[in-house]
Amino acid sequence: MWFWNPLYFLFTLPALILGLIAQAMVKSAFNKYSQVRTLRGLTGAQAAASILRTFGLFDVTVEETQGMLSDHYDPRSRTLRLSPDVYRNSSIAAVGVAAHESGHALQHAKGYWPLQIRTQMVPTVQLGSWLGPIIFMVGFFLGGRVEGSLGYYVAVAGLILFAVVALFAVVTLPVELDASRRAKQILVTENILDRSEMDGVNRMLNAAALTYVAAAVQAILTLLYYAFILFGNRRRN
């Protein structure tokens, strides 16, 4: 079928390979430094709570959630959720992840505009990520290659949803990079980690940043692929 043709892999394979490499690097760094206890012995939950108190974010709660590396900050409920391996452990990896998520809470408190944009986009992206391909395919099979036809405009609507997903991936990049920057700075300035322990944090957060780069590149290339399919061989009605 047209949407499984080799051209799709030509567009998306480089980003897919980059993403797989980045994910392997994250898992490798996390597994390695989850075995190295911090000098101060703080758990991820304690490190996060300490950072939040230092910056006066007493209304942000820290709680445990299930899943491996499922850590995230929810700006709607002002809740920082940490996976068991991060919440309970006093490893360099756990503290690094907790500090990164605390960085998102600091972004929220300071009105960091890329985070605000990303938060507002979440409902649309959740809808577009699964509905976009369906709408596009329906439009294409309704004659989407014929410019001006009903199918063409339906396919364009699907393409717009693809574009929103790609934009979300791009906006996510500065949000994640800034959170990591804040985390690295805070861990040292607040004496949560010694400078000698930062190599592990740097390796892990830098690898995590690469996964977001790969996701953004893949989203953009996927958008370009579907745009090429729709506009590359269109006929006028």
Query: Average pLDDT of 111-129?
Result: 92
What pLDDT is attached to residue 174?
96
pLDDT band at 105 (very low <50, low <70, confident <90, very high): very high
Q: Angle, nearest 10°, between helix axes 6-33 and 92-109?
A: 110
| Cα 148 from Cα 209, distance rounded (Å) | 42
76-92 per-residue burial string, b: 16 or more CB within 10 A, e: under 16: eeeebbbbebbbebbbb
pLDDT band at 107 (very low <50, low <70, confident <90, very high): very high
Report the predicted TM-score, pTM, of the whole model to 2 decimal places. Answer: 0.88
Which three-class secondary structure state does DSSP give residue 4? helix
Give domain limits for the chain.
2-236
Active-site residue list: 101
Query: Average pLDDT of 209-222?
Result: 92
The pLDDT > 70 percentage for the chain reads: 95
- Considering only residues 83 and 141, tell me which one the structure prediction assigns the higher pLDDT: 83
